[in-house]
Structure 1
Amino acid sequence: MSDVRITENDMLTETKTLLNLPPGYSARPATLEDVPAITRLLNRTSQAMIGVEDYNENELRKELQAPGLDLQADSLAILSADGDLAAYVDMFALVKPQVYPMTFGRVHPDHMDRGLGSAVLAWSQARAEQHLAEAPEHLRFAIRAFTYGGWQPAADLLAGNGYSLFRHAFKMRRDFNGDIEAPDWPEGVRIETYRHPDGAEAVYRALDEAFQDHFGHIHEPFEAGYERFTHFLIGDEAFDPDLWFLAKDGDEIAGVALCRKWDDEDRTAAYVADLGVRRQWRKRGLGRALLLHAFRAMQARGLKAATLHVDAGSLTGAVRLYENAGMHVHRRIDRYEKLLRDGEEISTTALD
């Protein structure tokens, strides 16, 4: 088996022992040239898990070019004897200080039950421990992972490697059957469509403020957060400025609905990437009004539905809001973590 270069400075000679791969398998860091093969693997696994293809090459390529991600250190491709991709894993640790690195791994269905899942998690553990060494010593630190709800092989693998289920997320959906009611805007609030590119910084600042009340939010410098925002949302092939809606109160952005022109799983549906209302304007129906306005714009384009993801235990009551706007739970995502060090919690876990 070839060595895996997890970082440039260490662990090279320990790789074989670390992964404990079965005979015939080898491993190396992933590259952008692997994107087509990784996409095929991810879609084979999502077909097995939920019955649909949930990934596309362009979106994956964008993710793997995220600011702060180093494929050489932050990814692993496991290959079969014939050179096919048998498993893949990466770790995103982009927000600094990084105390909750997110690992994402999948094993091709044809290569399950051969110890590759354990190899993926062994790599994740080793990479996370490197981040742990760099994190301030007084902070709580855990590896986090997620899987589709109800997929027992992943749940068993994670539990068997010391991970605990700690939270759920939902993918929600509304099918556009019939007319969508007109939004009822709070007094003094008007709706505008985003003007690209001049309004990007103001939109990010408003969204960042709103998301300070989102579970798991960690404050970070403006420059780092804004760079990632532009990469993932404005750099997205499904970006359409005409589907970004701003609720304004005077010159202030009170809330935003930032929508993609399609859902990667279903291109007859649009996707609400972010919906946020700043604290001063909450409890006035603004979130629901923004959502209904977005739905009507989507329907006018001929789209058949809208989807979004939400924390199932949203601190601001987002699930109830979405249900009140006609959405239902389409799929559950299970979130796991493995605590590596207890300590001070710096992420948002409750509202003041």
Structure 2
Amino acid sequence: MLTVRPAGPGDARDICALLNAVDTIEIGRPETDLHEVEADLNHPDVDLATDSWLAVEGGRPVAYGLVWDAGEPGRVDCDHYVLPGHQAAGAHLLDLMETRARAMAGAAPGSLRLQLNVRPTLDTALLDDRGWRTVRRYHAMVRDLDPAADLPPSPPPGAPGLTLRHCGTDEADRRRAHALVERTFAEHFGHVEREFDAWLDHYGARDLDWSLVWIATVPGHGDAAVLVSRDDRTAMGWISHIGVAKELRGLGIGGHLLRHGFAAYAARGRDTLGLGVDTRNASGALALYEAHGMRMHFAVNTWELPLHPQE
């Protein structure tokens, strides 16, 4: 018998097991860590009583959904996971999520966005029938690391004198890193501007190791680029942001930051480093990563459902 109820913090391990079962089907191995699930369930902008759903059958979760305010008027984001053979449960959660999202969006037109593997466990006909459409594709890119070959790079010829400093000891530098993220990602699809504390909460960065965040300074331009990374995933190290000031793009700074990341994580004993990239990124990020030996691990589509004004 299927039961549906709100998720709670005590469900974290069961939800993590569900997500890893989906991972194994979609990408070939489990890659969800328990702390990621716990961060979602404890997010300050999520009310689990109204914004989460856990479908349980035979004592184990078979589907899970979560919605949250994305930080801009009318926009709601969500997660949805379902095991094969349980599409009815997945469809029921979609109904509940869409209803809640319309209430969250209010009277103004808005949208509900969902990221799914390009070959998901969810039957995408359920999305098509409800008016969802794909609006973007992202690639999760990975690269194998070699401590003997991945050494700290010299400054690029296009930006002589470039220096890097990490943000591990200076609160002001942490705020500068955030400001650089906001500045360099302002034109990216889906980017939402956030104040520093809200940004920390959104990215689950309250416990971020700031020694793995670097600011690039270029003579005559000051602080001009940023690399934000984290080493709290079991599967690999992860770069969440590489941003270069628009006026300095094309000088090799992005590649320099990327190679610095390879060297830093190889020195930490990591054998793989990953990141996500919008395949339509106007800055040419996908080509940059491919040119530096990164390959696609898996692809994700962003699906969007228009949320029309309530009558």
Percent identity at matched positions?
25
CA deviation map 1:179-219 (0-9, x unaligned) = 13624331242111223351221111111111102112234
Q: Which amino acid aligns with 2:41?
A: L
Question: What does residue 256 of structure 1 align with?
Answer: 226
Specify the SS of the correspondent of 2:23. Answer: helix
Q: Are positions 1:28 and 2:5 aligned together?
A: yes
Q: Partners of 2:49 and 2:199 in 1: how far apart?
A: 20
Q: CA RMSD in A?
A: 2.2
Cα drift, residue 271 of structure 1:
0.9
Match of 1:107 among 77, 82, 86: 82
Q: Are positions 1:58 and 2:25 aligned together?
A: no
Q: Partners of 1:248 and 1:26 in 2: how far apart?
A: 55
Taking structure 1 as the reference length, the TM-score comes to 0.79
Question: What does residue 5 of structure 1 align with?
Answer: none
CA deviation map 1:113-171 (0-9, x unaligned) = 4x11110110111011102215xx3xx52211121112374323322322112210000
Cα drift, residue 93 of structure 1:
1.4
**Structure 1 unaligned blocks of 5 or more:** 1-23, 343-352
CA 1:164/1:102 → structure 2, altered by over 3 Å: closer, same or farther?
Answer: same
Specify the SS of the correspondent of 1:119. Answer: helix
Match of 1:275 among 218, 225, 242: 242
Q: Partners of 2:7 and 2:191 in 1: how far apart?
A: 29
Cα drift, residue 262 of structure 1:
4.7
Q: Which amino acid aligns with 1:335?
A: T
Question: What does residue 49 of structure 1 align with?
Answer: 26
Specify the SS of the correspondent of 2:127. Answer: helix
Paired residues for 1:76-91 under 5 Å: 76-80=53-57, 82-91=58-67
Cα drift, residue 311 of structure 1:
0.9
Question: What does residue 123 of structure 2 align with?
Answer: 154
Q: Are positions 1:72 and 2:41 aligned together?
A: no
CA deviation map 1:227-273 (0-9, x unaligned) = 3325635324xx33332221013683211111112544x1xx31112
> Contact (CA 8 Å) 2:76, 2:105: kept in 1 or not?
no
Question: What does residue 130 of structure 1 align with?
Answer: 103
Count of residue pairs brought into register by the alignment: 303
Paired residues for 1:188-199 under 5 Å: 188-198=161-171, 199=173
Q: Partners of 2:308 and 2:6 in 1: how far apart?
A: 27
Specify the SS of the correspondent of 1:242. Answer: helix
CA deviation map 1:274-312 (0-9, x unaligned) = 111122322211111111111111112222121001111
Q: Which amino acid aligns with 1:195?
A: G
CA deviation map 1:301-349 (0-9, x unaligned) = 222121001111112211111112221222111111112249xxxxxxx
Specify the SS of the correspondent of 2:293. Answer: coil
Specify the SS of the correspondent of 1:319. Answer: helix
Specify the SS of the correspondent of 1:184. Answer: coil
CA 1:112/1:245 → structure 2, altered by over 3 Å: closer, same or farther?
Answer: same
> Contact (CA 8 Å) 2:118, 2:301: kept in 1 or not?
yes
Question: What does residue 39 of structure 1 align with?
Answer: 16
Specify the SS of the correspondent of 1:196. Answer: coil
Q: Which amino acid aligns with 1:179?
A: A
> Contact (CA 8 Å) 1:67, 1:94: kept in 2 or not?
no
Taking structure 2 as the reference length, the TM-score comes to 0.89
Match of 1:118 among 91, 97, 114: 91
